[in-house]
Amino acid sequence: MTRGRRWRAVVLALAALYFLLPLVAMLEFGLRAPGGGYGPANFLAVVRDPVLLSSLLTSLQIALVAAVLVIALVVPTAVWVRLRLPAVAGLLESATILPIVIPPVVMAAGIAFVQANLDGPLFRELFASSLTALTPFYVVLALPFAYRAVDNGLAAIPLRTLVEAARNLGASMAGALLRVVLPAIRSAVLGAAFLTLALVLGEIVIARILLYTDTFPVAIVEVGRSQAGVAVALSLAALVLTWVLLLAVSFAGGRRTGAERTP
């Protein structure tokens, strides 16, 4: 083994240790049974506890709607900017960073102000449930990650040529997007959806400040006050779930162009 390779192996091992050690610790802690010994009881709490199960379903629902909205917003915008308005690409990129720059607590305070001062049936309806109230803000929070993922995907394909080829063959602009561009950046789009899912499954500040306590991350924190093992087990389970989804996404994205098929 050359000196360079040895160094790479050492760095890789240290990085793996850094990431894996806390996870192994979480697994060990999560598997501890309340009466001593080890067992899956903490992991199964989500099935046993209707509040936890309901919060998981609520969060998945929010994640799904937010992911669809993010993709519907980001993909046409990024394509439009690349094809028609390349001059504003920098400006748009700066704008999408804002949700990262502005701390969630500031955003939550702003939303709370809006919530308290705007009245009317539409706003009452909007803030009536965590799904309708939180989803728009999670869409905003997910924009920086989703925009970058999609834009990188677009940068990797000959976008203009593909769109023009599809248009030349009779596709409308929407048809070209749906049938040609979207499949070509499938991994990037699924990555953006995955990032949105991960964000929703981990966001707690806005939900708590706005008093929407029925989301999964908030429920985990609440459970953690009395059952630390359950909270840790479910956090780990949520992490593994997102990893599994990521792997599924990568697999699905790569498979379509990998094998020879019959027409």
Partner 1 sequence: MSEPTTVEPAAPSAAPAARGVTVEFRGIRRSYGTTHALAGLDLTLRPGELLALLGPSGCGKTTALRLLAGFDRPTEGRVLIGDRDVTDVPASKRDTGMVFQAYSLFPTMTAAENVAFGLRMRRVGAAERARRAGELLELVGLGNRGGSFPHQLSGGQQQRVALARALAVSPAVLLLDEPLSALDARVRVQLRDEIRRVQLAEGITTLFVTHDQAEALAVADRVAVLDAGRLEQIGTPQEVYGNPATPFVAEFVGVQNRLPAERLDGGQVQVLGTPAVLDGEAPAGALTVAVRPEALAVGGGGEPGTVVSTTFLGPVTRLVVDTAAGELVVDTVSRPGLPGIGERTTVGLSTERVRPVP
Q: Which parts of this chain interact with partner 1 (CB under 8 A)?
A: 157-158, 161-162, 164-172, 175, 179-180, 183-184, 186, 256-258, 260-263
CB of 178 to partner 1, least distance (A): 12
Q: Which tokens is 195 given?
A: 């990032």
> H helices within 32-129, ranges in order?
45-48, 50-83, 89-101, 104-117, 121-126
User: Looking at beta carbons only, is 176 or 199 nearer to partner 1?
Assistant: 176
CB of 175 to partner 1, least distance (A): 7
CB of 192 to partner 1, least distance (A): 17
Q: Which tokens is 211 given?
A: 């008093």
- Cα separation of 72 and 84, whole Å? 18
User: Looking at beta carbons only, is 3 or 255 nearer to partner 1?
Assistant: 255
User: Looking at beta carbons only, is 140 or 163 nearer to partner 1?
Assistant: 163
Distances in Å between the alpha carbon of 213 and those of 96, 110, 138, 220?
A: 28, 19, 15, 10
CB of 261 to partner 1, least distance (A): 5
Distances in Å between the alpha carbon of 15 and those of 5, 10, 175, 235?
A: 15, 9, 44, 21
User: Looking at beta carbons only, is 37 or 170 nearer to partner 1?
Assistant: 170
